[in-house]
Structures are given as C-alpha cells and as structure tokens.
Amino acid sequence: MNELKTGLLQMHCTANRADNMCRLAEGITDLAKRGAQLVVLQELHNTLYFCQTENVDLFDLAEPIPGPSTQFYGDLARQLGIVIVTSLFERRAAGLYHNTAVVIERDGTIAGKYRKMHIPDDPAYYEKFYFTPGDLGFHPIDTSVGRLGVLVCWDQWYPEAARLMAMQGAQMLIYPTAIGYESSDTPDEQQRQREAWTVVQRGHAVANGLPVVTVNRVGLEPDPSHQTNGIQFWGSSFVAGPQGELFYQASDNEEESVVVNIDLEHSEHVRRWWPFLRDRRIDQYTDITRRWIDK
C-alpha cells in the first residue's frame, strides 16, 4: 500500500486578501501537523470570487508567477515539508491573464503549473472577461508525492481533460473549484446541480481508474453589481476512489479541514479488473476533435 495523506481546506473568502492568506496559512499548517503530505486549496483562494462582474480594475488582483503568492506558499511548503496545490490569478503580460494552478514542491520550488483550459461565461461567472484560455495543454505535474493531474473547476465537466491526464500517467486528478447555487433556482434544482457536479467527477474516477480530489469554497459572496443575489458556494469538497467510491465529502455550508488517506497503488488493481484503457478503440475516435458531427 502506498498511502498519500491528502489535506483538503474548504474555506470561505472575504474581501481582505491578507486575512484570507493568513487563514489559509493557519489551515495549511494545521493539516501538515495532522500528517498531510499534500494539501489542496480551492480555486482563486486568495480573494473573493471576483468574476461575478466585469470590472477592469479587478485585473489589479493578478500577479506574476513566480511572484508574491508563490513565494508565500513556497515558504510554507518548505517549512512544513509538504506539497501544496494553489490556484492563482496570473498576470502573464499587460492585458494577458490566466486562471492558473501552481503546484509547490516541499522544498518551496515550483513543481509546475496548469492554466485553466475551459473558461465559462455564464451569469455571475464572467470568466472569459478575465482569463485567457490555457495554452500549456493537459499535462500532469511530477512531484515528490506523485504525478498529479491538476485541472481547475470548469475543466471538471469534460471527460477529455481527465482522460488526457490519465493517459500521461497521472496518479490522481485534482480540481481546485469555485462553484455554487444560483439563488433564483428552486432548492430541488440546486441539489440536482450539486449532485451532477459530484457524479460527473466520480465518473472520471471510474472511467480512468484514478482517485479524484476536489476542493470547493463555501459561503455566500454578494454580487457587487446587485444584479443577482450573489453566489452561495456549495462546498461539498470530496475525495473519490478509482471506482468512484466516496472516501469523504464535506459539508455544503461549513468550513472544513480534513486529511484523507489515498492508496495510490489501488488504481493498479482496479485497472486490472476494469481494463478500460486496454479496450479503447483509438482507431475509431478521430471525430472526437470535431465541434459537432453533421450528417
């Protein structure tokens, strides 16, 4: 058995960046003291989810990579001897910004980064205004705790992204996330959406024979424009095994900090029972790269 003690930090965010980062540091330190070797943070964890409106002044929140945040979390990783998956608003150049996950190695260096590839543009999620689609491809990041298939939020709905990570030897799929309820939807519809979100990712776990780690933020964040009632982030961070089994699922309305043991060797056994990769008809999939198949 090759167990990886994985820490999940599900938090609310405020408009005070320094406060958010202080609480993140406290949470990361606590998880490390409880044995976590890998800590996964939620999407855009340093700030409020600013994409509820389109405001050019909010580009001031972005920063270079490497930069202040990678230094901050790098110092933590080095002091605690852990690997940290962060999620940052990257300023690549004037007018060129990305939603970027950065993996920090336990010596404090940057192990690698992933720029979010699928960018939503929906009411209260105006991400296309802020983020240029990623151009680094779907490639796992090698670390001292394993080969991590790091993706970001909206990527989690796309089986192609998960498959490409798996096909390059990712040992787990990781999704920093910021998703919540639209207040005008009925309670039943809200629950259908949350359950669909969980089910599709558990499906990626099954289809690829890999564990999945998803960390979502929690709490109500008001809409600065007052055009909506804001987003109630639904938390529900979870860890699923390679057969889709839920090892842990957090509350949908409370902050949580938890360490989950993940057996990375179990995927080998599951793939022997369910050899989906063996039976793929790669000679018949050329049309998958088309937008739509017209008759």
Query: How many CB atoms lie under 10 A from the CB of residue 220?
Result: 14
Of the listed 13, 43, 127, 221, which one is catalytic? 43
Cα–Cα distance list, 14 to 26, 218, 262 (Å): 16, 11, 31
Whole-angstrom Cα distance, residue 43 to residue 130? Answer: 14
Task: Give the orientation angle of helix 187-208 with respect to helix 159-167, to 10 degrees.
Answer: 20
Per the structure block, which two tokens stand in for 199?
A: 């089910």
Task: Give the orientation angle of helix 17-33 with respect to helix 68-80, to 10 degrees.
Answer: 20
Binning the chain into helix, strand and coil, the percentages to the nearest 5 are 30, 30, 40
Of the listed 127, 153, 221, 256, which one is catalytic? 153
Whole-angstrom Cα distance, residue 287 to residue 294? Answer: 11
Per the structure block, which two tokens stand in for 97?
A: 């910004």
Whole-angstrom Cα distance, residue 132 to residue 92? Answer: 10
- Write the CB contacts of 204 (distance below 8 Å, at least 6 apart in sequence): 156, 159, 162, 173, 210, 212
174 within 8 A of 149, measured Cβ to Cβ = yes
Any catalytic annotation for residue 221?
no
Q: What's the CA angle centered on 121, arms 116 and 124, to 5 degrees?
A: 110
Of the listed 5, 116, 127, 256, which one is catalytic? 116
Whole-angstrom Cα distance, residue 225 to residue 234? Answer: 21
The amino acid sitting at 61 is L
Any catalytic annotation for residue 43?
yes
Active-site annotation, residues: 43, 116, 153
